[in-house]
A and B are shown apart, each in its own frame.
Chain A
Amino acid sequence: MTAHPRIWHLVLILSIFSTPLVIMYVYQVIDSIASPDPGSLIPGEIDLSNWRFLWERIDMGRPSIWMVTFNTFIFASTTAFLVTLLSTTAGYALSRLDMPGRPYFLGGLIILHAFPTITLIIAIFIILQFLGLFDTLLGIILVKAALELPFGVWIMKGFYDTVPWEIEMAGVQDGASRFRVWWELVLPQVKPGLAALLIISFLSGWSEFVLPLVLAPGSSTQVLSTYMNAVIQDDASADFGLFKAIGMFYSIPVIVIYLVFQKQLMNIYGGGTKG
């Protein structure tokens, strides 16, 4: 990378502050594929046995990694789908329809978004227990989606707000029903928002830890974050190489998604579409 001469000192400062991070990531990668040398920073020989969790059970009590990965995928994708679907319709209603109590609804969204969800965990636990959804994937999917919704609705409302009214008026004048106008004329204008929201809520679901830990502690509903937690808590054999390898495995999809969808993700901060 070539830095502009006038900003070289900025680059320097940034480099100094991010060095610890970079070192951590480097060792995360190195240690996951090398056998550790106690007391030394220089890794020993290459050792792929840390990745053994991929093809064998690391111990009898644990579900297979593929089962856990599948759980995580189902959890994250269903949540993302639910959040996007509901935000798309709710955002439109809040942006366009003159419904009673709209300002309070909008204010409520902001408060809910800022609300520390962890304080709700006991109440949610009781509700799930009551509904018989405790320790089920469906239960944590519903909870996660509900907690993500305020953010999603707010973002989608922002995207709808940038679509000119006249487009809808023109559509109605051209003879199309309100639903058709929304589906065929408005929705394409907010596609970047949809894509970004889908990806962001997927990633958020993928990295969720507290909800599955508390609300779905059983091994059949384990997701990757709780699986890692269980591995590190197993004090009989603290295998850091294994832990790091699982960590790598866990973060690869996130990295790939970021690399592939960078542009779409930036949209959410860019504030919408430009004609």
Chain B
Amino acid sequence: MELRLENFTKRFGDVTVIENMDLTVNSGEMMALLGPSGCGKSTTLFAICGIHKMNGGALYFGDRDVTTVSAQGRSVGVVFQNYALYPHMTAEQNIGFPLKVQRMPKAEIRREVERLADLVQIGNLLDRRPAELSGGQQQRVALARAMIRKPDVLLLDEPLANLDAKLRLEMRSEIRRIQRETGITAILVTHDQVEAMSMCDRIALMRDGKIVQLDTPEQMYRNPQSQFVAGFLGNPPISFLPARADASLTLANGQTIERPPGLEAMGDVVLGIRPEHFGPQHGTGLKGKVVFVEPQGREELVDVRLDGGGDIRSILPAGDPIRPGETVDWGIAPGTILAFGPNGDRL
């Protein structure tokens, strides 16, 4: 079901956390609310599920205006960061609780619980209590409980933050699989750009209570609309170099590079260069010295300090014997330079 947030405003006391935010999540889509902590993404989530009252604006599930509907009255499933399973109930009772509240007959609850348990693949764990389940299993129970009412919207609040690295990878694809299989409209709140990019159809990147860019993961990565977006997405992160644009681009240290085609701006700019676009395979042009090498198994992260100042990062396939202290003369892949104005906007 489509979810629409119009002119959403939220204040805590005198502090306005979010002002006039618009957001539309298409039916069946998985949307990420991504941003640094304190950007208002969790506040938005809690407003959608009804735990926080909205100070202004309207919320629609499909055509239905639910702005003033209580949390109990909204058809929303939520998976909390710490899962919030009821410790005194078994997995089966946990999953069945929303139906028990609706006074559904026991046999029917049982059948529904089994259907959900199959979906999240915990059929053999139903009689265990949360304390007897691993983190990933608890996550699955929480997911089943959130979905058993067949909610209009599924909200996931940092669902992977409490899992260890390996489980996180597994649950990432699991959650995506379950979302695809059921076709449910979902919103994922996260501060981890990898989660957002790998799990979601679209990303709403938030900062200081505003959505700064709403796009597909690929578009947002390739075509960021501001320096903030470019810096937030990508791991290892993008490198920024201040430069002057005239006939060519003159870096602060005096080295020059060619103007990328399509760039019309003149004057002071900031260049963004992703690590995969800088390296020996892209020719020459930038001289510097390797200051740091971080082996990562398949790849190596290489920090280069340019002659005259400025740091730039490169990611290279492992195996090239590069040592700190080496002088290099590497190039930038043509057409990949991102340029930003002094105010951070994309040029």
Report how far A164 CA is from B162 CA in the complex, Å.
Answer: 15
B78 CB contacts on chain A under 8 angstroms: 169-170, 173
* A174 & B145 in contact (Cβ 8 Å cutoff): yes
Binds B, one of A151-159, A175-183, A203-211: A175-183
A167 to B145 alpha-carbon distance, docked (Å): 13
Residues of B within 8 A of A176 (CB): 72, 97, 101
Residues of A within 8 A of B252 (CB): none
Q: Which of A171, A180, A189 has the most CB of B within 10 A?
A: A171
Task: Note all chain B residues with C-beta closer than 8 A to A271.
Answer: none
Of the listed stretches B81-89, B186-194, B232-240, B335-343, chain A binds B81-89
> How many residue pairs between the two chains, A and B, have CB atoms under 8 Å in the bound complex?
60
Cβ of B72 and Cβ of A189 under 8 Å apart? no
Query: Is B245 an interface residue when CB atoms closer than 8 A count as contact?
Result: no
- Judge whether A175 and B86 touch: CB under 8 Å: no
**Nearest residue, chain B, Cβ from A185:** B86
> Residues of B contacting A172 with CB < 8 Å?
50-51, 71-72
Instruction: Kindly supply a per-residue 1/0 record for chain B positions 80-103, scoring 1 wherever the CB is within 8 Å of any chain A CB and 0 otherwise.
Output: 111111111000000001100110
A164 touches B71 (CB 8 A): no
How close is B76's CB to chain A, nearest CB, in angstroms? 6
> Could you say which of A167, A174, A188, A273 contacts B101, with CB atoms under 8 Å apart?
A174
Q: Interface size of B by Cβ–Cβ distance < 8 Å?
A: 26
Of B72, B76, B101, B130, which is within 8 A of A275 by CB?
Answer: B130
Q: Flag whether B131 is at the interface (Cβ < 8 A).
A: yes
Q: Which residue of A lies closest to B146 (CB)?
A: A173
Question: CA of A174 to CA of B85 in the docked complex: distance in angstroms?
Answer: 12
Q: Is the CB of B130 within 8 A of A177?
A: no
Q: Is A166 an interface residue (CB 8 A)?
A: yes
Chain A residues in 8 Å Cβ range of B97: 171, 174, 176
Smallest CB gap from B77: residue in A: A173
Shortest Cβ gap from B295 to chain A (Å):
39
Instruction: Tell me if A175 and B98 are in contact (CB < 8 A).
Output: yes
Residue of B nearest to A186 (CB): B86
Instruction: Establish whether residues A170 and B149, one from each chain, have CB atoms under 8 Å apart when the complex forms.
Output: no
Closest chain A residue to B82, Cβ basis = A166
Q: In the complex the two chains form, what is the Cα distance from A190 to B270 in whole Å?
A: 57
Known: A176-B72, A189-B88. A170 touches B101 (CB 8 A): no
**A170 lies within 8 A of B88 (CB):** no
Our pick among B84, B87, B88 for the contact of A169 (Cβ within 8 Å) is B84
CB atoms of A173 and B76 under 8 A apart: yes
B323: min CB distance to chain A, Å:
50
Q: Is the CB of A167 within 8 A of B86?
A: yes
Interface residues of A in 217-252 (CB under 8 A from B): none
Residues of B near A189 (CB, < 8 A) are 87-88
Is the C-beta of B49 less than 8 angstroms from some C-beta in chain A?
yes
Q: How many residues of A contact B (CB 8 A)?
A: 18
| Shortest Cβ distance from residue A262 to the other chain B in the assembled complex, whole angstroms | 22
A169 and B86 contact, CB distance less than 8 A: no
Select one of A167, A177, A185 contacting B72, CB under 8 A: A177
Please give me the residue from chain B that is nearest to A174 by CB atom: B98
Asked if A169 and B98 sit within 8 Å, CB to CB, the answer is: no
Known: A169-B51, A170-B78, A275-B130. A175 touches B149 (CB 8 A): yes
A164-B101 contact in complex given A173-B78, A275-B131, C-beta closer than 8 Å? no
Pairwise interchain contact A175-B72, C-beta atoms closer than 8 A? yes
Q: When chains A and B are docked, how far (Å) is the Cα of A169 from the Cα of B76? A: 12
Q: How far apart are the CA atoms of A164 and B76 in the complex, in Å?
A: 20
Cross-chain contact A180 with B101 (CB below 8 angstroms): yes
B-facing residues in A185-203 (Cβ within 8 Å) = 185, 188-189
Query: Chain B, 58-89, contact with A by CB distance < 8 Å: what is the 0/1 string?
Result: 00000000000001100011101111111110
A169 close to B101 (CB less than 8 A): no
- Chain A residues with CB under 8 Å of B81's CB are 166
**A169-B51, A170-B78 are known contacts. Are A175 and B102 too (CB-CB below 8 A)?**
yes
Interface centre among B50, B80, B102, B146 (most CB of A within 10 A): B80
With a cutoff of 8 Å between Cβ atoms, the chain B residues found around residue A177 in the complex are 72
Least CB distance from A186 to B in Å reads 10
Q: Which residues of B contact A275 (CB under 8 A)?
A: 87, 130-131
Residue among B49, B87, B98 facing the most chain A CB atoms (10 A cut-off)? B87
Chain B residues with CB below 8 A from A180, complex form: 101
Q: How far is the CB of B146 from chain A (nearest CB, A)?
A: 8
A67: min CB distance to chain B, Å: 42
With CB as the reference atom, state the residue of chain A lying closest to B86.
A185
Known: A174-B145, A185-B86, A189-B88. A169 touches B72 (CB 8 A): no
Docked Cα-Cα span, A27 to B25, in Å, equals 80
Q: Could you list 25 A-B pairs, sorted by A, with CB under 8 Å?
A: A164-B82, A164-B84, A166-B84, A167-B84, A167-B86, A169-B51, A169-B80, A169-B84, A170-B78, A170-B80, A170-B85, A170-B145, A172-B50, A172-B71, A172-B72, A173-B72, A173-B76, A174-B149, A175-B72, A175-B98, A175-B101, A176-B72, A177-B72, A188-B87, A273-B87
Apart from A173-B72, A175-B102, A189-B88, 7 more pairs, CB < 8 Å: A164-B84, A170-B80, A172-B71, A174-B97, A174-B98, A185-B86, A188-B86
B residues near A, CB below 8 A? 49-51, 71-72, 76-78, 80-88, 97-98, 101-102, 130-131, 145-146, 149
